[in-house]
Amino acid sequence: MKIMKFGGTSVGKPERMAEIRKLITKDDETKIIVLSALSGTTNALTEISDALSKGDREEAKKRIDALESHYQNFIVELLKDETYFKKAKETLAEHFEFLNIILKISYSEALNKDILAQGELLSTKLFSIYLNEQEIAHVWLPALEFMSIDQNNEPQVASIREKLSKLLDIHKGTQLFVTQGYICRNAKGEIDNLKRGGSDYSASLIAAAVDASVCEIWTDISGMHNNDPRVVKDTKPVKHLCFEEAAELAYFGAKILHPASIWPAQYFNFPVRLLNTMEPDAPGTLIERDSDSEGVKAIAAKDFITAIKIKSSRMLLAYGFLRKVFEVFEKYQTSIDMVTTSEVAVSLTIDNDTYLNDIIRELEMFGSIEIDKAQTIVSIVGYHVAKTENLLAKVFDSLTEIPVRMVSFGGSQHNISILVAHEHKEKTLQLLSHGLFD
């Protein structure tokens, strides 16, 4: 069984849905198609929810009407048969009736999750209607009946496998299923989600649950590039990555793949392919257990980083000092990306400053605190890259013009990370590309 996940840009226009239809009917292998919301929908739903949270029902209503108008125009172009067009109109009426009803309901976080779920439900229902119009046999599979997370927001893989297996058994002989990415149920049975980029995660979890032959992630880019194509000219797709390399790149800024989607593939050992809906014949990127070569494969950058320096000549050498520092971040559920230490200071970085003021307040009991916001982590990734001869020298020879704030070397065999101010990000990526690839 093959899993094929299509992102928002891949389903964002009627003609794109027509291209997906061609891709999913190329062969007779059983497939589960995982769809994101139409491009722009999740942002629009977030804006509706934000307006409601502020009590601005007039603004929420305006945004609901604008989104409905977009969908009405979408189905006019998508469907030609009056019978199926009518079904699509009824589907839109059902979901936008819900969005209009919530204008009269008190806002809550549970309601927010209900609002955000509408995007994937709409995209899959409309695609299912389109497939029916095209006389393509399939089953619309509700993700809310099998995708679940526990009280720690971790996916319940065993439960997902059991529930999904039962649903598939009901439809034995069916070769095509359409389901939603991103949405799930939480430990309370409420509608929830796997956070931004969660459709990749959904596809990977589904692939793990059904022992898939491959999990294909279809976007508008031909695989993972060796640098950011928005910043660096003449980047190239990386044809092959091992799981460790892909995980480092995804976590440290490569936008094409959700970082969490790697671990199910790694744990259950199924390959992942990153492919381009607009260029379906391009080889893309294959991610699997073994690496095909050592050395630098790609460079990625992660923005919105905050650096925190704790200076304390009195306490740094004291037993348990670092543990106490890390406990502060654990208390506020804030993960740390990079860490460096000296005799009198500890520097570290975080990518979530939600609780920054609380963290600073507690850290001040250990010493003086310095904060640098608007930083960027630039990561050089490749299999056993930390062992590559003279690589560190090449990195710093390339960056003689750049003030480097921190360096992380040796924590991972597959990653060398440096911290620079965001204003130096583009120049850093360009210089590294020239120094390491040219």
Determine if residue 40 is labeled as part of a ligand binding site. no
Determine if residue 7 is labeled as part of a ligand binding site. yes
Q: Which residues of 142-178 are buried (b: 16+ CB within 10 A; e: fewer)?
A: ebbebbbbeeeeebbeeebbebbeeebeeeeeebbbb
Q: Which residues of 92-123 are buried (b: 16+ CB within 10 A; e: fewer)?
A: beebbeebeebeeeebeeebbbbbbbbbbbbb
The Cα–Cα gap between 367 and 344 comes to 10
Determine if residue 41 is labeled as part of a ligand binding site. no
Residue 124's contacts (CB-CB under 8 Å, 6 or more residues apart) are 35, 140, 178, 179, 180
- The count of C-alpha atoms lying within 13 angstroms of the C-alpha of 401, restricted to the half-sphere facing its C-beta, is 12
Q: What is the CA radius of gyration of the chain?
A: 24
The Cα–Cα gap between 289 and 284 comes to 17
Determine if residue 340 is labeled as part of a ligand binding site. no
Q: What's the full length of the chain, in residues? A: 438
Joined tokens for residue 9: 């840009």
Joined tokens for residue 383: 């299999």
Asked if 243 and 264 touch (Cβ cutoff 8 Å), the reply is: no
Determine if residue 150 is labeled as part of a ligand binding site. no
Determine if residue 245 is labeled as part of a ligand binding site. no
- The count of C-alpha atoms lying within 13 angstroms of the C-alpha of 327, restricted to the half-sphere facing its C-beta, is 7
Cβ neighbours, 10 Å, residue 335: 10
Determine if residue 6 is labeled as part of a ligand binding site. yes
Q: For residue 15, report the phi and psi dihedrals to the nearest 5 degrees.
A: -65, -25
Determine if residue 74 is labeled as part of a ligand binding site. no
Cβ neighbours, 10 Å, residue 329: 18
Determine if residue 220 is labeled as part of a ligand binding site. yes
The Cα–Cα gap between 39 and 112 comes to 19
Cite the annotated binding site by residue number.
5-8, 42, 120, 219-220, 230
Cite the annotated binding site for substrate by residue number.
42, 120
Cite the annotated binding site for ATP by residue number.
5-8, 219-220, 230
